[in-house]
Structure 1
């Protein structure tokens, strides 16, 4: 494997982050999301949204690289109260120190090379330095690969579920919660 690394994303990375997001969704989520939803994703709008995030937040974004290529990314920041709250809307006692990993994607052709682990490890280190004590993320219940990855990092479903409308098809997501200090288990 060529040199692998993680670095902070810069605004000029927006196009590549958008390409990776759309490629990964169209490949990895083809059975979770209707074809018309995936076909309707707008590359220019996605790139513009990432450019806004990279220039003004609120999330921090890291990219994984292998050699000269950007192969994945992770976006995270303080969890909005609604994201961290219990199913009944009650905020947790640690709400002020909960971080939300809003995206963690590695382009499928670059998978199984440790990029996701490096991204999550670097991001949680950054989050801990900013005062976070716990992380959360939302994962489609049927996404067994992502579930297994987060479980290997010590994150697990915390009992909160949401159902999104994915082009007229319900998409059930589980909220996973885990420690900021992590060590990956071999699977």
Structure 2
């Protein structure tokens, strides 16, 4: 389904179930390939496998440690977001982390990510800190997070992604 130049007209957001693992994996990989082209090595992006990613999502959704929401339009999964306990060494009990928010590139710029973020943040009690990590060179994501009240806090980490040394920066809000 090509979304064209208009916003999807029947987007619904709901909690994901194990039955959504394949669709989440498909969106996850499409989003990585679109967002990280030119940042992460092409060979790594090409090697991403929906079946393997689906298995990881099935495990994550089954464990229930984090909560995942999906956005869909007429039965097609457009994006997802996952929120769970903060995993950083300096996190305090009760702090949360946005582990992921990814959209099918065809849904970019159409308000779906905004609606997902509002839904996720609506589940957070007032005053509870939420952090997230973003690749430093991902300007589109950094701008999106700032629009939703997140700010960099000066903490960075280096990750090897497909043989490339990638800098990630932490954003926080609350």
| TM-score, with structure 1 as normaliser | 0.84
| Structure 1 segments unaligned to the other structure (5+ residues) | 86-90, 180-187
Per the alignment, residue 31 of structure 2 pairs with 24
Per the alignment, residue 15 of structure 1 pairs with 22
Match status 1:54 vs 2:61: yes
Per the alignment, residue 112 of structure 1 pairs with 109
Per the alignment, residue 122 of structure 1 pairs with 119
Cα RMSD (Å): 1.5
Runs of 4+ in 1 over 4 A off after TM superposition: none
Match status 1:139 vs 2:121: no
Per the alignment, residue 165 of structure 2 pairs with 170
Per the alignment, residue 68 of structure 1 pairs with 75
Which stretch of structure 1 is more off in the superposition, 2-11 or 118-127?
118-127
- What is the CA–CA distance in structure 1 between the aligned matches of 2:18 and 2:11, rounded to whole Å? 21
| TM-score, with structure 2 as normaliser | 0.90
In 2, are the aligned partners of 1:73 and 1:104 still within 8 Å (CA)? yes
Q: State the Cα distance separating 1:168 from its structure 2 match.
A: 2.1
Per the alignment, residue 4 of structure 2 pairs with none
Query: Between Structure 1 and Structure 2, how many residues are aligned?
Result: 167
In 2, are the aligned partners of 1:99 and 1:132 still within 8 Å (CA)? no
Match status 1:98 vs 2:95: yes
In 2, are the aligned partners of 1:14 and 1:54 still within 8 Å (CA)? yes
Match status 1:156 vs 2:151: yes
